[in-house]
């Protein structure tokens, strides 16, 4: 998703941003669907059997996307941009699956996606009493240690260490007001089945992204395997390649990544004044460097494409969020909501707003070193990510499970090991550029004279240090990574790999910053947010939904366009509109498959459509489900107004953008023929 500009005006704003959800607002946990509210809005609400079936078919993908099973043989529907990294990892200078598309002739030709894992929620259990009891009256770093130890114990007790098919994860809701154990059935062998050309999936490119009308075939299919065979998935969703109907009810089931709708005024001020300006500046400069490097030759153009797409997407997300927080009408409404909650809470919960404000002062002082040396270290470098994960995994495995850092507990290690040891290409030029950028920006933002920056760089320049580390490391070899992972701390200490030595030398500084963050920010804010959660439930009851946490949610809405500057925006596009929109020039150049199929396709076929469903990043690939439980599309974007959706939902303007099942079916039959898939999808 990207954005050209943020168009919200004061006259158009009618937000459902109070402490209680209204209209079609809300990313609801599947165990707390507000059926009475859904019934009132849509005239129909799903029952438990409907919800259970949808939960069993909903898939979470590693890498931050959603998906769904759509056949009895493990077939998974998701977005093309969710499999783009897989397609690029499987490509070479001779075979470019990202540019040319991929169609497996039969099951034997389906190709394994490195690092990918599919997960399905089996059960959800409220474990709040146990976690909150473990926290007790602890504060600061002691609080985070007690909380993390309790979470690690719960996960370990509920998932047998030797079971390779189950994963347990305790999810924090309301910033610490609620904790739930999610037990997942996981599939670690996920293979690419079908993908259109990138030019078809992202037709319109950056100008069209976060806009509508759209003509993007942003859909692909994967398949889950186990023991070398496709998994049996009898509880799948029914494929329904029909056009959407104006006003019909729609449900989006997926894993929205992160929202910040429960932030206080002080926390929003931090985002507006510190975090978002920094990220926009970093991504803008990095984007320019990457574009320049890709122009050097065709190989780098191919190897850097998916990274560029991701950077452009992130840049415009943050840019749009920054614009939203500088919109007076938007922020005035948010401030009004906070005053309303304060008034309703009175003195019943103390003053959590003041507690968060005090932590915010500490965060402003800590943020740059914490970001560059700990939470954002490496700036996306794959090789540095391997090195750091190997060093930390080795150190953490020497500790009791209850004392480990999040992400390195017994429940998390199998996926981490898979991501470290799976084979995937590494591009040295891109690695060197990313490390150069990170090191130079660390020096710029944290300061030349900062002791940790001096320790990081030594007497080398960012450019020379990055070149030395990338040229000398052997971590591009998965066999080397596997040996280091299995060898533990002894292998790490014995390694002469320069990137391992670099990560090991700087690990203590990062850990110290994390400890300071836990003590001064995370701990106090967790206590305060638990109080705020109590206040919200007292004031608004069950009309609350938690911020997105990349856990399974359901949103309800309807197929509906919107009015922009006095002009109605249609709810749907068709194939004919795409051909009319094509100019022959990038990014409006027809994909070759569509150019060849012009005389075969039905121009009236529904292409993309919009709904009022409330979604955010992470929902990409989520099935869009009709009342009868069938899939009529896959969510892949929001409109430009949805950029402010991180902080609040506007029912008049926020829209989900969906690729229709009808568009995918037409492509499967006439553009990128896959007769086997067509037959499989038709099987009930």
Q: Bridge-partner residues for 657, per DSSP?
A: 610, 637
What would the mean pLDDT of 523-531 be, rounded to a whole number?
Answer: 95
Average model confidence (pLDDT) for the chain?
94
Q: Which of 11-20, 508-517, 527-536 has the lowest mean pLDDT?
A: 11-20
Q: How far is CA 503 from the centre of its chain?
A: 26
Fold for the domain defined by 10-117+188-260+546-682:
Thrombin, subunit H (2.40.10)
Whether residue 14 has pLDDT greater than 50? no
| All residues at 6 or more sequence positions from 541 whose CB lies less than 8 Å from its CB, including other chains | none
DSSP state string for 30-70:
TTS--HHHHHHHHS----HHHHHHHHHHEEEETTTEEEEE-
Q: What angle do CA 229, 232, 235 make, to 5 degrees?
A: 155
d(CA 683, CA 72): 8
Q: Which pLDDT belongs to residue 15?
A: 39
- Token couple for 290: 């990457």
Confidence category of residue 9, pLDDT binned at 50, 70, 90:
very low
Q: Bridge-partner residues for 167, per DSSP?
A: 184
Whether residue 239 has pLDDT greater than 90? yes
Whether residue 542 has pLDDT greater than 90? no
pLDDT, one tens digit per residue, over 287-315 is: 999 999 999 999 999 999 999 999 998 99
Q: Which pLDDT belongs to residue 20?
A: 56
What would the mean pLDDT of 106-119 be, rounded to a whole number?
Answer: 97
Q: Which pLDDT belongs to residue 434?
A: 98
Whether residue 612 has pLDDT greater than 60? yes
Q: Peptide bond before 103: cis, by omega within 30 degrees of 0? A: no
Q: Which pLDDT belongs to residue 22?
A: 60
Q: Which residue has the higher pLDDT, 22 or 285?
A: 285
Boundaries of every domain in the chain: 10-117+188-260+546-682, 265-538
Q: Which pLDDT belongs to residue 21?
A: 62
Confidence category of residue 517, pLDDT binned at 50, 70, 90:
very high
Q: What angle do CA 589, 593, 597 make, to 5 degrees?
A: 105
- Token couple for 114: 């490195």
Helices (H), 44-197: 48-57, 80-89, 97-100, 128-135, 140-158
Q: Which pLDDT belongs to residue 23?
A: 74
pLDDT, one tens digit per residue, over 317-369 is: 999 999 999 999 999 999 999 999 999 999 999 999 999 999 999 999 999 99
The 3-class secondary structure across 422-439, one letter per residue, is CCCCCCHHHHHHHHHHHH
pLDDT, one tens digit per residue, over 83-102 is: 999 999 999 989 999 999 99
What would the mean pLDDT of 539-564 be, rounded to a whole number?
Answer: 93
Q: What is the DSSP-derived secondary structure letter of residue 272?
A: I
Q: Which pLDDT belongs to residue 12?
A: 31
d(CA 296, CA 533): 53
What would the mean pLDDT of 17-31 be, rounded to a whole number?
Answer: 76
Contact 616, 242 (CB under 8 A): no
- Rounded to the nearest 10 degrees, the angle between the axes of helix 80-89 and helix 305-325 is 150
pLDDT, one tens digit per residue, over 625-658 is: 999 999 999 999 999 889 899 999 989 999 999 9
d(CA 106, CA 45): 40
pLDDT, one tens digit per residue, over 172-227 is: 999 999 999 999 999 999 999 999 999 999 999 988 999 999 999 999 999 999 99
Q: Which pLDDT belongs to residue 13?
A: 34
State the pairing for strand pair 75-78/111-112.
unpaired
What would the mean pLDDT of 435-454 be, rounded to a whole number?
Answer: 97
Q: Which pLDDT belongs to residue 289?
A: 97
Confidence category of residue 1, pLDDT binned at 50, 70, 90:
very low
d(CA 278, CA 286): 12
């Amino acid at each position: 998703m990207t954005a050209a500009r943020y168009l919200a005006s004061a006259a158009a704003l009618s937000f459902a941003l109070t402490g209680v959800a209204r209209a079609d607002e809300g990313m609801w946990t599947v165990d707390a669907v507000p059926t009475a509210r859904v019934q009132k809005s849509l005239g129909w609400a799903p029952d438990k059997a409907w919800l259970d079936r949808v939960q069993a078919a909903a898939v979470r993908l590693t890498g931050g996307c959603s998906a769904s099973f759509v056949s009895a043989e493990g077939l998974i529907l998701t977005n093309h941009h969710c499999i783009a990294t897989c397609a690029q990892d499987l490509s070479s200078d001779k075979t470019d699956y990202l540019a040319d598309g991929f169609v497996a002739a039969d099951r034997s030709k389906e190709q394994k996606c490195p690092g990918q894992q599919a997960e399905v929620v089996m059960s959800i259990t409220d474990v709040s009493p146990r976690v909150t009891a473990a926290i007790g009256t602890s504060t600061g770093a002691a609080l985070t240690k007690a909380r993390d130890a309790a979470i690690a114990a719960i996960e370990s007790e509920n998932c047998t260490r030797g079971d390779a098919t189950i994963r347990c994860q305790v999810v924090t809701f309301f910033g610490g007001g609620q904790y739930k154990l999610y037990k997942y059935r996981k599939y670690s062998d996920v293979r690419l089945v079908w993908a259109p050309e990138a030019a078809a999936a992202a037709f319109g490119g950056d100008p069209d992204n976060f806009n509508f009308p759209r003509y993007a075939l942003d859909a692909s299919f994967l398949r889950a395997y186990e023991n070398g065979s496709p998994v049996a998935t009898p509880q799948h969703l029914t494929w329904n390649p029909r056009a959407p109907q104006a006003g019909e009810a729609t449900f989006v089931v997926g894993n929205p990544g992160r929202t910040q709708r429960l932030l206080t005024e002080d926390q929003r001020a931090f985002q507006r004044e510190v975090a978002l300006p920094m990220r926009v500046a970093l991504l803008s400069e990095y984007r320019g460097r990457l574009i320049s490097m890709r122009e050097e030759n065709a190989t780098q153009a191919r190897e850097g494409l998916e990274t560029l797409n991701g950077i452009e997407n992130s840049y415009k997300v943050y840019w749009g969020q920054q614009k939203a927080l500088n919109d007076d009408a938007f922020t005035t409404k948010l401030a009004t909501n906070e005053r309303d909650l304060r008034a309703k809470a009175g003195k019943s919960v103390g003053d959590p707003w003041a507690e968060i404000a005090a932590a915010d002062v500490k965060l402003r002082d800590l943020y740059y070193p914490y970001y560059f040396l700990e939470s954002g270290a490496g700036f996306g470098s794959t090789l540095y990510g391997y090195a750091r994960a190997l060093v930390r995994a080795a150190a953490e495995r020497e500790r009791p499970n209850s004392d480990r850092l999040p992400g390195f507990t017994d429940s998390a290690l199998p996926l981490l090991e898979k991501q470290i040891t799976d084979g995937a290409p590494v591009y040295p030029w891109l690695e060197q550029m990313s490390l150069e950028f990170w090191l130079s920006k660390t020096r710029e933002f944290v300061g030349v004279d900062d002791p940790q920056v001096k320790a990081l760089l030594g007497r080398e320049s960012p450019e020379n240090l990055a070149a030395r580390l990338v040229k000398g490391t052997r971590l591009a070899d998965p066999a080397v990574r596997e040996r280091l992972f299995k060898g533990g701390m002894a292998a790490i200490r014995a390694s002469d790999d320069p990137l391992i030595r670099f990560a090991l030398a700087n690990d203590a500084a990062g850990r110290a910053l994390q400890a300071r963050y836990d003590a001064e920010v995370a701990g106090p804010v967790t206590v305060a947010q638990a109080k705020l959660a109590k206040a919200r439930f007292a004031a608004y009851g069950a009309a609350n939904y938690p911020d997105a946490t990349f856990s399974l949610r359901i949103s309800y809405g309807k197929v509906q366009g919107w009015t922009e500057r006095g002009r109605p925006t249609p709810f749907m596009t068709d194939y004919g509109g795409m051909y009319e929109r094509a100019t022959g020039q990038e990014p409006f150049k027809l994909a070759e498959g569509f150019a060849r199929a012009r005389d075969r396709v039905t121009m009236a076929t529904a292409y993309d459509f919009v709904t009022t469903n409330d979604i955010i990043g992470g929902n990409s690939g989520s099935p869009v489900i009709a009342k009868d439980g069938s899939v009529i599309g896959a969510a892949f974007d929001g409109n430009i107004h949805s950029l402010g959706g991180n902080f609040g939902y506007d029912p008049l303007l926020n829209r989900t953008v969906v690729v229709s099942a009808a568009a995918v079916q037409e492509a499967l039959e006439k553009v990128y023929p896959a007769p086997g898939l067509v037959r499989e999808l038709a099987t009930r």
